[in-house]
């Protein structure tokens, strides 16, 4: 066992060194040895890489692959395939929700991811139905409630709340999906004035007042979703969750857009938050494996907390972290360390075996949970947007060959990451500036 671990460590260390040397040379700003003076990413060029096409797949094949995934997960059999479910109508129009079929609830994470997929695929009816459900059943608008202006992170399909506290990853994707909807379709009236609602949520995220009160689940204190001193997104803005962060919630690619489009008084903050997140990725990822923990302190060190035994490991939340920094590189190209990290993490998983690596690890690379997962296979492919080594193509091909997630445990989270990763890797996950 020790010999095998040592061999794997040697392999991926050599890989990482070789692949990092392949990284493109960047113009470096004097104030930060790894920050470029100007980005040449997709925001500036309007050109999005199509990794599947680079691997030799035709545009027709790629479109069929994406449509098949959408068809199964959004329109497939309700008992064995779908995660999108219609939920009737109200005075604002049709309603629908994304169902975590394993945990039997509806989460702000999944709702916002579903909306992002819908806007990227030009599915306005589905987008509006999801947004209507989120506002109707998840948005907390009771005056004086500790989480007023936020979305309950978990509800039952009928709208009964399992929690009266939010999770920032939901709000982050809600905001950006709404800005993109404004750009793609224009703004409507009421809740369908997408930009107005994006601005409103974004303002609340930073300026929510410190509020204490009683909820149906007990006393709660809530504040902003960001730490002002550290210019960093929190794990949650309630109770003890305000003392640390979640690396997979850091979305510098989105923060750069908010710094351009959001309420003017907060634009400088979000610009700074983007740079903070880039630096935070460097602090919180392991220097050899590139693995990040589920939760981390503001200095990047792992958090150990009772309610999540994997909080200090690379686990379910952490799968998204490489996707986040790789999309940031693809869109903005402002921090060449993102290239190095993608090379590093893919080198590690290549050393573990592309068809056999696990899904939970200690940060130094010891396997905790065996067997690959659709969600991790998907996000590891997105890391190829930043990676520069030849093995990057194999990670893309692994996603291409992955069946649409359908098992009870993989269908919701794995399915959403699968669809978003298909869109990223095909160059079809794009920026739409709000009107």
Q: How far from the centroid of its chain's Cα atoms is residue 221's Cα? A: 26
Question: Strand 93-98 to strand 106-107: parallel, antiparallel, or no bridges (unpaired)?
Answer: unpaired
Does the annotation count 148 as an active-site position?
no
Render 345-363 in DSSP notation, one character per residue: HHHHHHHH-TTT--SEE-T
**DSSP β-bridge partners for residue 214:** 219
Map residue 334 onto helix, strand or coil: coil
Q: Residue 69 has which token pair?
A: 């995934």
User: How buried is residue 305: exposed, middle or buried, by Cβ count under 10 Å (0-12/13-18/19+)?
Assistant: middle
Residue 339 near residue 386 (C-beta atoms within 8 A): yes
Map residue 261 onto helix, strand or coil: helix
Residue 212 near residue 146 (C-beta atoms within 8 A): yes
Catalytic residue among 266, 317, 328, 335: 317
Question: Which helix H or strand E contains 43, and what residues bound it?
Answer: helix 42-45
CB atoms within 10 A of CB 382: 30
Question: Which helix H or strand E contains 9, and what residues bound it?
Answer: helix 2-20
Catalytic residue among 109, 246, 266, 397: 109
Does the annotation count 317 as an active-site position?
yes
Rounded to an integer, what distance in angstroms lies between the CA atom of residue 134 and that of residue 120?
19
Residue 166 near residue 150 (C-beta atoms within 8 A): yes
Q: Residue 372 has which token pair?
A: 């690959």
**Catalytically annotated residues:** 109, 317
């Amino acid at each position: 066992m020790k010999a095998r671990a040592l061999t794997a460590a040697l392999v991926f260390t050599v890989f990482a060194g070789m692949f990092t040397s392949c990284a493109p040379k960047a113009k470096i700003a004097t104030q930060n040895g790894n920050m470029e003076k100007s980005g040449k990413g997709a925001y500036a060029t309007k050109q999005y890489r199509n990794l599947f096409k680079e691997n030799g797949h035709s545009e027709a094949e790629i479109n069929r692959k994406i449509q098949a995934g959408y068809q199964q997960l959004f329109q497939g059999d309700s008992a064995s395939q779908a995660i999108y479910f219609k939920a009737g109508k109200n005075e604002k129009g049709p309603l629908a929700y994304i169902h975590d079929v394993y945990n039997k609830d509806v989460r702000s994470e999944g709702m916002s991811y579903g909306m992002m997929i819908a806007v990227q695929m030009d599915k306005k009816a589905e987008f509006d139905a999801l947004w209507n459900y989120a506002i109707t059943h998840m948005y907390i608008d009771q005056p004086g409630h500790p989480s007023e202006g936020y979305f309950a992170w978990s509800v039952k399909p009928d709208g009964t709340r399992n929690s009266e506290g939010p999770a920032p990853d939901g709000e982050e994707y809600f905001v950006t999906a709404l800005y993109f909807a404004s750009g793609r379709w224009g703004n409507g009236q009421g809740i369908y004035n997408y930009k107005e609602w994006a601005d409103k949520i974004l303002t609340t995220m930073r300026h929510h007042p410190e509020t204490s009160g009683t909820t149906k689940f007990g006393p709660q204190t809530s504040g902003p979703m960001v730490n002002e001193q550290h210019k960093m997104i929190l794990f949650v803005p309630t109770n003890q969750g305000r003392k640390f962060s979640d690396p997979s919630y850091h979305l510098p690619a989105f923060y750069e857009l908010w710094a351009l489009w959001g309420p003017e008084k907060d634009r400088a903050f979000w610009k700074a938050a983007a740079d903070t997140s880039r630096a935070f990725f460097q602090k919180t990822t392991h220097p050899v494996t590139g693995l990040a923990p589920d939760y981390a302190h503001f200095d990047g060190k792992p958090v150990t907390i009772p309610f999540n035994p994997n909080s200090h490991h690379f686990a379910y939340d952490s799968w998204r972290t490489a996707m986040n920094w790789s999309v940031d590189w693809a869109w903005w190209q402002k921090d060449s360390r993102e290239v190095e990290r993608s090379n590093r993490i893919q080198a590690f998983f290549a050393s573990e075996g592309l068809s056999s690596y696990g899904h939970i690890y200690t940060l130094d690379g010891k396997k905790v949970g065996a067997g690959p997962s659709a969600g991790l296979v998907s996000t590891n492919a997105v890391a190829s947007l930043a990676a520069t080594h030849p093995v990057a193509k194999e990670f893309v091909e692994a996603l291409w060959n992955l069946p649409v997630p359908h098992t009870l445990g993989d269908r919701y989270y794995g399915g959403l990451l699968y669809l978003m990763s298909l869109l990223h890797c095909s160059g079809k996950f794009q920026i739409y500036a709000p009107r």
